[in-house]
Amino acid sequence: IAKVVTAVADGDLKQKLVVEAKGEVAALAETINSMTDTLNTFAEQVTTVAREVGTEGKLGGQAKVPNVAGTWKDLTENVNFMANSLTVQVREISDVATAVTEGDLTRSITVDAQGEVSTLKNNINQMIANLKETTQQNKEQDWLKTNLARFSSMMQGQKTLESVTKLIMSEMTPLVGAHRAVFYLNDATTGGTLGGEQVLKLMEAYAYRERKNVSNQFRFGEGLVGQCALEKQSILLTNVPSDYIQISSGLGEAAPLQIVVLPILFEGAIMGVIELASFQQFSQIHRTFLDQLMESIGVVLNMISASMRTQSLLEQSQLLTQELQSQSQELQSQQGQLRRTNVELEAQAKELEEKATLLAEQNEKVEQKNREVELARTALEEKAEQLALSSKYKSEFLANMSHELRTPLNSMLILAKLLADNNEGNLSNKQVDFASTIQSSGGDLLNLINEILDLSKVEAGKMEIEITNVSLPEVRDYIQRSFAHDAQQKGLSFDVTVLPTAPTTIPTDAGRLQQVLRNLLGNAFKFTERGGVSLTISTPDHAVLLENGDLVAAEDLVAFAVTDTGIGIPKEKRNLIFEAFQQADGTTSRRYGGTGLGLSISRGITGLLGGRIMVESEVGVGSTFTLYLPKSTEHFEAMGFDLDNIDDGFSGGNGGGSSSPRVGGGGGNGRRGGGTATATMPPMTDQFVLTRPRTMTTTVATTRPDREAIAAPTVADDRDSILPGDKVLLVIEDDVSFARILLDRAREEGFKCLAALGGEEGIRLATQFGPDAISLDLRLTDTDGWEILDRLKRNPQTRHIPVQVVSVVDREQGQLASVGAIAYLEKPVTSDALTGAFAHLRRFVDESVRRLLIVEDDDAQRGSLVELLGGAAGDGDDDIAIIAVASGEEALGSLAAETFDAIVLDLTLPGMSGLELLQQIKSDTRLMNIPVVIYTGQQLSKGEENRLKRHAASIITKDVGSADKLLDETALFLHRVIARLPEGKQRVIKERTGDKEAKKETITTPTGAATRPSRRRTKANAPETVAQVTTPVASLSHRTVLVVDDDVRNIFALTSVLEAQEMTVLFAENGRDAIKMLGLHDEIEVVLMDVMMPEMDGYETTEQIRASARADWKALPIIALTAKAMAGDREKCLEAGASDYITKPVDVDHLLNLLRQYLAKG
């Protein structure tokens, strides 16, 4: 037993206890052997498991010891558990490793482990995660590079922008999971202008549907597309609202989840913008792909654009190459000819050498001749300059002589007419004949004056034209009326025909067309004794070379052919008749009279109208003068005419060159001007309307001397016999003879008369006596008539008095109506015209209630206007009757049924528009003279405003102060007495008219010129160009003014006046010092700038002040103060940047008024 036990203890489990024993010893022996067997089995099993796991690498083995218990059983189970755990872990690691080697990176080791096995597990899992991430990145990079390469390959073959953008949209959009896309190209990329504003235009789209509120083009910075282009950065829009955009299919539509906007750049320049919309989020790889693709697209777009430009240049080069090849062939042919001629030239060379000496001598003679020619050319240029200067002086002389001749001629014609009428019957028939001869000769002299003046205008290039759409049927009717009597008187046939080939209207000057046709027809009747005269209007059957050198096709012309059966013109005289003062028969024994100016003037006018006059004639058979005029407006556009709002219609009144007197105006329609008047004011579409301002800044002389203080007039008047209730007429006329005539005719109409031979005297008489009407000459010796009219209409005491204007200056009636004149008479005035004019005045004076028509479609506005404009001072004696209608049709009905003195018209009306109504009113001879005030809330374009100004007396836009202006304007046109208005309305009008009492003074300076009223015209670069009479006035006390003048006497005089107003006066003697003073004294609020100064004149000084970077200098009021008063000086001052203009000698009241108004604006 001891031996076996010792062996077991030493690890020998093979020995057995063999002993013969019985009893307990035998049981012990058996137990020991059983223990030895169990230990041996356990050892073998554990050794086997350890060998399999440790040496052979087999997993899953288990130790199997039968009948084990207790500690041995626990030990066996622990060994088996260890082997099983190791098996599970290793197999899990093996499976995961096998999956990884096969490319499955989704697996990971999930078995529980501890210690180093756990570390191994974590390391392997991390390795798998790293492998997975690396593989994903490699896949994405592979996808990215593959698709970038694929797109680069696809785009390489594209030749046009249309094909490449279509390819990009169809391939890129689904690739990045987008469902809607648009492609915008920079306009410069597609060949647009590079220098202007860049615009992105829609080029291609994917699943796109146009919507009304989405534009197909964007400027930089406009919308997300424009902002993307401006910033050159992509923009991602997430959480897109459901109503922002819809991606639609045949089954339905839904809003996208994300929108991305991508710029396409090439070398920093924007080539285009792409916008994509998707139901899902754009992944990072897609965003990266899009960003890189945009660079490639930019390169491709640039290459295609360059290629297209290159292709264009190539085509041009090929054309040039073909031309060069053709020229080369020609050169080769010529070279052959040159070789043949070279031999001849060599032979000739010797001959030429012999002639060279002779040529040298001749060249010297030629050079001598050239020097003589150059001297002659210089002399001719000097003569041309002298001729131009002579022409200028001649034109100025003729313009002045026109006035000087018309004034005495006016009295002569009227007195001759009175003598010829022999109303008192105290003249013999022979004396009456003498008077009629004087009157007829005077009329001929007047026509001659008009022709000479027209000729001077043509020769000096000063004749103006106004283009309207002229109706040819109306031309026919006008000519028929004008010459039917002449034809009947001479027993000639007379036909005026408009052929179907002629257009209905042509763009031209209606008055000048009348003048040319009258000249041609007048000559035709003069030189035709039997047969007839005809005018045919048609489209010519051949092209015509016009005066300007243009050859115009027949279908672009209108021909006016005047044909007669008269004496005819010899061929050698046909060009002579178009020269001034020339006739076909210029001998002393000539049979036909005339000045020979008509055709010369007609040719000059025709040239202005873009046409030509041609003549065909045969002596003894007759002549045909054909006037060709263009149908298009190209000629007038080239001359700078604004034809955007060309008027329609034909003026059937007196045209250019007419000397007929006219009476009419803003006092009403037929009832106050009809009956005895021989002519009426023509429509305002008549040409040559002078641009004269509606408001002139002058000051009313409010000194009111006693009756004894007023000098006795040279013309005896009725001032000492005026009684209450008498109707008093004030005549302001510097022509004594004509003044006496006016007084006599006015007395025949029941007026008591006052006479003033000067403007200032007229103002004093009007203020003292308050006459019922005034007759005013515009050309006065002491004061400009326009200034007198302005002062009368700005003085609340006299502005209601109706003023009839008489002057030799024609074509101002439209402007006169706009400043409140009731009628206009042009000198020389006929006796009948005077009778009609004074009858018109008397009827107007006798009617105390003025009638106003309001045309306004808005009920509330209409009621407000009636309330604003109606009502007197509350004594029940209303001075106005108002009819208010809501439409143009109602207005025409009212005008047909009643008479009105003024109209207030809104432009926005139901049915007939306000503009259409205005045109109908002005085309009706019974209504054309009613002043119309446009009162509208419509924003007018410049063209619309210019068009309305031709017809309307005033245009008022509805705003904060428009009601006050409307009250003022209507009171002016209705000649309402301000004192009879309610106090509030009186105050409004007085504030608007600048009713300030002031004494008129004059500063006389050594360099002064005659004072003239301000004639304002707006200039773009003047901060405040016109001081309107409606501007609020400001106190001059403690305000600072800078006087810039090089004459110390002028500075002293101005300083004395300004310091008397408690102003602070600084001065500078030239422009440079003035700029320094402005820099040193910020308190300067206004500048009086002389123009003529040494070192730096007023023009340059003003321009430098306006060009300064200082904002306060740009708005600083600068009033030009100069002795220059020639035409164009004012415009030059305003163009330099002056705010206003005043001449020397300075009208102190005018100057102070300007200063108050400009300082009030500041």
Closest CA to 706 of 643, 634, 783, 764: 764
Residue where a domain stops, chosen among 257, 282, 307: 282
* Cα 859 from Cα 865, distance rounded (Å): 10
Assess contact for 1108 and 1114: CB atoms under 8 A: yes
Q: Can you give the three-state secondary structure of 74-125, one letter per residue?
A: HHHHHHHHHHHHHHHHHHHHHHHHHHHHCCCCCCCCCCCCCHHHHHHHHHHH
What is the per-residue pLDDT for 894?
92
Same domain, 990 and 852: yes
Same domain, 1027 and 1148: yes
Same domain, 204 and 240: yes
Render pLDDT for 731-751 as a digit per residue (tens, 0 to 9): 998 888 888 888 988 898 889
> With 60 as the cut, is the pLDDT of residue 876 above it?
no
Q: How many Cα atoms within 13 Å fall on the side-chain side of residue 636?
A: 22
Torsion angles phi and psi, residue 846, rounded to 5: -70, -25
Closest CA to 826 of 874, 777, 873: 777
Same domain, 775 and 895: no
- Give the mean pLDDT of 161-180: 91
Percent of the chain with pLDDT over 70: 79
* Cα 866 from Cα 853, distance rounded (Å): 10
Render pLDDT for 641-698 as a digit per residue (tens, 0 to 9): 666 555 554 444 433 333 333 334 444 443 333 332 322 333 333 322 322 333 333 3
Does residue 597 fall inside a structural domain? yes
* Cα 655 from Cα 1014, distance rounded (Å): 30
Render pLDDT for 177-197 as a digit per residue (tens, 0 to 9): 999 999 999 987 665 544 457
Same domain, 841 and 857: no
Residue that has been written with the tokens 């307990």 in this structure = 24
- Three-state DSSP class for residue 188: coil
pLDDT greater at residue 1035 or residue 850: 850
Does residue 556 fall inside a structural domain? yes
* Cα 574 from Cα 455, distance rounded (Å): 20
What is the per-residue pLDDT for 548?
66
Does residue 895 fall inside a structural domain? yes
Q: CATH number, domain at 987?
A: 3.40.50.2300
Which of 110-114, 147-151, 409-413, 1150-1154 is most confident? Answer: 147-151
> With 60 as the cut, is the pLDDT of residue 475 above it?
yes
Render pLDDT for 226-277 as a digit per residue (tens, 0 to 9): 999 999 999 999 888 888 888 888 888 888 989 999 999 999 899 999 999 9
- CA dist 943 to 651, 742, 836, 909, Å? 21, 42, 37, 20
Q: CATH number, domain at 623?
A: 3.30.565.10
What is the per-residue pLDDT for 390?
77
Helix 1148-1161 to helix 1048-1060 angle, to the nearest 10 degrees?
Answer: 70
Rounded to the nearest 5 degrees, what angle is found at the Cα of 831, between the Cα atoms of 825 and 836? 60
Same domain, 868 and 969: yes
> With 60 as the cut, is the pLDDT of residue 466 above it?
yes
DSSP 8-state symbol, 554: G
781 — pLDDT class (breaks 50, 70, 90): confident
Closest CA to 826 of 805, 813, 840, 807: 807
Residue where a domain stops, chosen among 966, 999, 1032: 999
- Give the mean pLDDT of 883-910: 90
Same domain, 986 and 1034: no
Same domain, 852 and 842: no
Domain count, the chain: 6
Does residue 129 fall inside a structural domain? no
Structural domain span for residue 8? 2-101
> With 90 as the cut, is the pLDDT of residue 1117 above it?
yes
* Cα 915 from Cα 925, distance rounded (Å): 18
* Cα 638 from Cα 632, distance rounded (Å): 12
Q: Give the pairing type, strands 647-648 and 612-618.
A: unpaired
Helix 831-846 to helix 736-748 angle, to the nearest 10 degrees?
Answer: 50
Q: CATH number, domain at 278?
A: 3.30.450.40
Closest CA to 467 of 660, 626, 650: 650
Same domain, 679 and 799: yes
409 — pLDDT class (breaks 50, 70, 90): low
Does residue 326 fall inside a structural domain? no
Q: Classify residue 924 by burial, with Cβ atoms within 10 Å: 0-12, 13-18, 19+.
A: middle
* Residues 6 or more apart whose Cβ sits within 8 Å of residue 483: 494, 521, 525, 533
* Cα 771 from Cα 764, distance rounded (Å): 11
**Mean pLDDT value across the chain:** 77
Same domain, 1009 and 1140: yes
Q: Is pTM, for the whole model, over 0.75?
A: no
Does residue 625 fall inside a structural domain? yes
* Cα 667 from Cα 929, distance rounded (Å): 7
Does residue 432 fall inside a structural domain? no
What is the per-residue pLDDT for 354?
82
